[in-house]
Structure 1
Amino acid sequence: MKAISAVFELGCAITVAQIVWRATKLPLRASLAFCAVWLAPTVIFNGAVWAESDSIWTYFTLVSIALFMRDRNGVASFAMAFSVKAQGVFLGPFVLGMILRRRIHPAWLATVPGIYVVLAIPVLVAGRSLASVFAVYLDQAHTFNRLTMNAANIWVLAGGLPYAIGVAVGMVLAAASGLALSIFIARSRRAGPEFILLAACVSLMLMPYLLPKMHERYFYAFELASIALACLNPRYVPFAVMAQVDGVLSYLAFENGIVLGVLPAALCNSLLVYYLVHDLWRGERGFRFPKLAWLGFIASTAGLFSYLVIEGPGLNISPLYLLATGLVTAAALLLLKESRGDLAGPDQLP
């Protein structure tokens, strides 16, 4: 089971590396992107530790983004992601915006149920009823009766809200925000790989942040897409690192029962949502290295290391993994140093 996830984790790393290579043509950045995705702590947790399948739908999600960044149609890949797991819908606002922006025929949306039906054929042949196959996502929606399943989102901050009211408010809020994002993408005059990737990251972050009943691992696609964004523009390096730290804090809440890290993770994710939406809205007028983002990065990283030293396994960690992650961190610092002059003029340096 874990081998299946490992194959798609490798696919995710290759796809992100290709995204970065096509956008920058810089081997260092593409190599860093590959290593950072393949060795990301949340990737290790999700697949090697938990044997979850989020790398599968995330792979098709990243392929869809890569195709749109190359001015190609990524709707079919999005349909594959949704057919594998309902969480693929997190990319929905971005895909709808690109359909409207690129004037892609709305008939392409029929590929979503079409691919789902094709992929369901082996299950139907194996004997599962037609009704259960087409109601599986609806049944999953009624599995838990909690506003958050350790997801570091807005519902951690609204724990006292009644369940039924929270679900209704969350669905309306997510739908309205998703529609607004789609319209913005369709009408925006901005173009280029960074804008498209940033819009995709906003979609992948905003949906699990606003929707109720989310698990901690549902930020998986954003966590990997943010690595690609950080390699395109080092301004987003602290964002990608914060996403990993927040993800690990959420995972540890389920893994070891330590839930104290979920609240600071939710606060840091709130900062991420604010800055991502701010940058998408303001475009090139946005500031470079936001101090609050760095503050959140430092605070969340310090909290994680404190947890590992005081409550966690201490030094009982693979030396090879520590060496590999150390090399990736060093490469990230080199990337920042390399790109300072490229990102800002002499009078704009932070």
Structure 2
Amino acid sequence: MASPSATIRPTRLSLAAVLALGAAAALYVALLPWHSADADAWFVPWTQIIIAEGPVHALAEPMRVTLEGTNGHANYNPPYLYLLILGSTAAGTLSPFAIVKLVSVAGALLCVACAYGLLRVFLSVEASLAGAAGLLLLPTLVLNAAAWGQVDSYWAALALLAVTAALRGQFALMMAAFGAALAFKAQAAFLGPFILYVVLANRAGWQTVLVCAAVYAGMLLPAWLAGRPALDLATIYLEQAQAYQWLSMNAPNPWAFIQYFHLMSLTTGLVVGFSLAAAAGLAIAGLAARVRLEGEGLLLLALVSAMAMPFLLPKMQDRYFFLADILSVVLALASRQRWAVGAAVLIQIGSLGAYGAHMIGFLHGRFIGGIAMGVAFAILVVQLRQAVGAARHAHVRTEAHCDGRRLP
């Protein structure tokens, strides 16, 4: 069967890619001067310390910063600091603010490159290039990198690489990419149920887990060699988890409503939310005992995993659906099914609403986003159930054919 892009001429796809790249370049340049609270209060001061005191000092201990009542330190995992150190080599030419933005935009390009690799599993070269170029215009990718100056693109890029490797049966690469993604941001764990499913369904062997652990540890090694205590490095994410004591931080999920209407205390919400997320994660991984998904079904499962965790967990932030934003567009481009396109649109609305709440104070955006995310999540769960049923039915028919039986 021809790929969905077979009906579109390569020349038109190439033209679409060129136009998308041109529009993206203009949009990113226009948004680069935008100052965000994260960049001004955290990333720029960290970069200034790196430039003033050198990379070894910056890695050896938390970089304490005090700005207008903000007393914090570099509680991001070291891989982001490595990028700022690399960017600081241009300190003679670029300002610390420009370095922060350069690092963020480079992450967006890396993310799009990894998305291209994932699209190539399903589409032609021309269609994949056009789709990847179009992703540069994805609102949350543009805002995250060019305006906000955040670095979610890096862990998301590595997560996309892990999904691509899973689809290609390259399980060692999958675990290496997943370990590297975890080293950048704890949010990469949202893909954990999917990774566990792939390992169980393919009997990939628990030795692959060692690959993940080794890569994660290797990503922290330079900071340890610079003098940062191993215990500090091992507990950075625990410290991050304790930083904010709210059920929702503008995340477009049910906890925005629960917090607004004071329906649960923080303690109760944590118990309920983590219980629901754990049950969902086990259900996703447990599908390995029932069916082995491939192709679009496996991609759908990755999206459900990336969607379920931030949707069900409390204490989530506005950016935490970033991987789902990108995977949903990839699935829509790969399948061209109406439900996939509809889900992708709803997920973009959901994340954009949350961004609006944080970036411009449009607080109703988180509630609009929560509703959009809820509808999208329901669509995806229904479609996953159908995909599992179809895969099981196909497996039964195959076994019957091999046994010489006849089925209707």
Calculate the TM-score normalised by the size of structure 1. 0.78
* Counterpart in the other structure of 1:279: 383
Q: 1: distance between equivalents of 2:207 and 2:179?
A: 13
Q: Tell me what 1:12 maps to.
A: 111
Q: 2:215 & 2:189 partners in 1: Cα distance?
A: 14
Higher relative contact order (CA 8 A, sep 6+): 1
For 1:266 and 1:87, how far apart are their aligned partners in 2?
A: 19
Deviations 1:135-160 (A, max 9, x none): 10111100000011100012123222
Instruction: Name the CA distance, whole Å, in 1 between partners of 2:291 and 2:308.
Output: 18
Residues 1-350 of structure 1: matches in 2 within 5 Å? 1-25=100-124, 27-28=126-127, 30-73=128-171, 74-159=174-259, 160=262, 161-189=264-292, 191-235=293-337, 236-283=340-387
Superposed CA RMSD:
1.6
For residue 117 of structure 1, give the secondary structure of its aligned residue in structure 2.
helix
Give the corresponding residue for 1:348: none
CA distance in 2, matches of 1:171, 1:262: 21
Q: Please say if residues 185 and 199 of structure 1, whose CA atoms lie closer than 8 Å, have aligned partners that are also in contact.
A: no
1:220 deviates by 0.4
How far off its partner does 1:284 sit? 8.1
Q: CA deviation at 1:125?
A: 2.4
**Local SS of the residue matching 1:258:** coil
CA contact (8 A) 1:154 1:209 kept: yes
Offset of 1:114 from its aligned partner?
Answer: 2.1
Conservation of the 8 A alpha-carbon contact between 1:94 and 1:199: yes
- One-letter identity of the residue aligned with 1:48: A
Q: How big is the shift at 1:185? A: 4.0
Q: Tell me the amino acid that sits aligned with residue 177 of structure 2.
A: S
State whether residues 104 and 149 of structure 2, in contact with CA within 8 Å, keep that contact through their aligned partners in structure 1.
Answer: yes
CA–CA separation in structure 2 for the residues paired with 1:101 and 1:272: 26
The answer to whether the Cα contact below 8 Å between 1:5 and 1:51 also exists between their aligned partners in 2 is yes
Q: CA deviation at 1:238?
A: 2.1
Task: Please name the residue that 1:321 is paired with.
Answer: none
Question: In structure 1, what is the Cα distance between the partners aligned to 2:134 and 2:324?
Answer: 14
Q: Which amino acid aligns with 1:239?
A: A
Alignment gaps of 5+ in structure 2: 1-99, 391-408
Displacement after TM superposition at 1:96 (Å): 0.2
Q: Counterpart in 1 of 2:16?
A: none
Asked whether the 8 Å contact 2:197–2:284 carries over to 1, the reply is: yes
| SS of residue matched to 1:218 | coil
Secondary structure of 1:23's counterpart equals: coil
Q: Unmatched 5+ residue regions in structure 1?
A: 287-350
CA drift of 1:26 comes to 6.4
CA distance in 2, matches of 1:254, 1:90: 22
Partners of 1:41 and 1:59 in 2: CA distance = 17
Task: State the structure with more CA Rg.
Answer: 2
Shift in alpha-carbon separation, 1:26–1:233, aligned structure 2, 3 A: farther
- How many residues are aligned here? 284
Runs (4+) off by over 4 Å: none
Identity %: 31
Q: Is the 8 A contact 1:149 1:213 kept in 2?
A: yes
